[in-house]
Amino acid sequence: MADGMTQLCDLCKRLRSSSFLSTKSKNMSNVVHLILASLTGVAVALIATYMPLIWRPVWIPSFESYAPGFNLVLAPQKALLEKSPLEGEALQALNVALEMLKERKRDKALKLFKQATALSPHHPDILLHYGEFLEEDDVIHAEHLYARALAVSPGNSRALANRGRTLPKVRQLDQEMLDKIDSKRDELFRIPKGSLAMKRAVTEAYYQHIYHSNAIEGNTMTLSMTRAIVETRMAVPGKSILEHNEVLGLDEAMKFVNGSLLQKQERVTVDDILEIHRRVLGHAHPLEAGRYRKTQVYVSDHVPPSPEEVDKHMEEFNSWLLSREPEMLHPIEFAALAHYKLVFIHPFTDGNGRTARLLMNSVLMRAGFPPVIIRFQDRYEYYEHLNHANHGDVRPFIRFVARCTQRTIEEYLSATTIYPVGHLKHPELTDSHEESAQ
């Protein structure tokens, strides 16, 4: 009986032991399965996120891979797709240019490429051939031509491949340019705040900004006249009341930017733009100041949105200003894009350019840059780059703003530098519109 009880106890122990091990093994198995499932989920998520960035057919680069904001094509596609009446002559010039290229007559080929582009500026084949001709010597211009071809024909595989090849090089060059400007800005920061030379330079730049911004729009006041009106509020003989009021309005708008927008912690919005415009036109056209236009306007060959669409476009513009995209851009890129978007919409009957330039400077000054002056004598280049942006590539306009920023900083540095005796200083601006002809 005792032996039987002993065997029974041993059997129970073995059963309990086997049951415990079975339960433990099952629990361990469940834990392992849970860990494996978690790792599988993480792996799938990583693959889904990064595989589109890692694996991509090299012959068709995606438009989404380009930097935000730079593929902005706000111009109506219909305007770009209109067939040139001289297209036949342009294609004939293109064929002759290709023949000259085969014969290694590059100078003649270049002239013919320029002629073909002038006759039919939006034909994708002409743009692509011309870009491929220029790519080795001028990759920036070549990439610009590829971008214009894509604006007309977004699915053009040849244009996508060409731009995918040139865009990284152009980005690198652009970044080097922006880094150089940043270093000059840092050099400007090192000037003592109490510098009298800097105070004089800031005051002079204030009057120059009013003069140049108004002169671009057709105001005939000279720099000395502009300064006299701002300082004394007295009339200048021989000049219209309208021109006087344009000077006073821009003075009020710049005071608003310097006194209010630069102190504002939040981002600049459309409401701030309306306040700028209210001051720009406050003296010249008080009934239109700070109000969207109610009529259609035309700017050279660009037809802005209809009056019924202005509110919608400005709401979208405001959403963009408050979005995260501007945060990913360099301040110069952000400022140039904000300027371009506003003048493309052209929300006001008058004063759009002056308001856009003040908006641009508001962005730059809030980022630590001095207010940039777009000079009267550069107005043709200024409008030409805005036109390029309407045709599908805003990068040339960004580079133009960057060059103006660099020149402005260099003028500040020059004005605050003590030169040794006999050293030649930079030439100063003259006091009339005749400087544009020099």
Q: Which residues are annotated as a binding site for ATP?
A: 299-302, 350-357, 382-383, 390
Which residues neighbour 223 within 8 Å (Cβ) at sequence distance 6 or greater?
207, 208, 211, 429, 431, 432
Annotated binding-site residues read 299-302, 350-357, 382-383, 390
Long-range (24+ apart) CB contacts under 8 A made by 168-177 are: 169/139, 169/143, 170/139, 170/140, 170/143, 170/395, 171/67, 173/139, 173/140, 174/395, 174/398, 174/399, 177/399, 177/402
Alpha-carbon gap, residue 66 to 70, rounded angstroms: 7
Alpha-carbon gap, residue 211 to 221, rounded angstroms: 7
Please return the burial class of 197, using the count of CB atoms within 10 Å of its CB with bins 0-12, 13-18 and 19+: middle
CB 273 within 8 A of CB 359: yes
Long-range (24+ apart) CB contacts under 8 A made by 117-120 are: 117/90, 119/84, 119/86, 119/87, 119/89, 119/90, 119/93, 120/84, 120/86, 120/87, 120/90, 120/91
Q: Report residue 220 as tokens.
A: 């005939």
Q: Report residue 74 as tokens.
A: 């706000």
Helix (H, G, I), strand (E, B) or coil at 327: helix
Helix (H, G, I), strand (E, B) or coil at 111: helix
Which residue among the candidates 209, 346, 388, 391 is catalytic per the annotation?
346
Write out the DSSP string of 117-162. HHHSTT-HHHHHHHHHHHTTT-HHHHHHHHHHHHHH-TT-HHHHHH
Taking residue 150's Cβ as centre, other Cβ atoms within 10 Å add up to 23
Q: Report residue 236 as tokens.
A: 């200048």
Alpha-carbon gap, residue 353 to 277, rounded angstroms: 10
346 annotated active-site? yes
Alpha-carbon gap, residue 287 to 306, rounded angstroms: 20
| Catalytic residue numbers, as ranges | 346
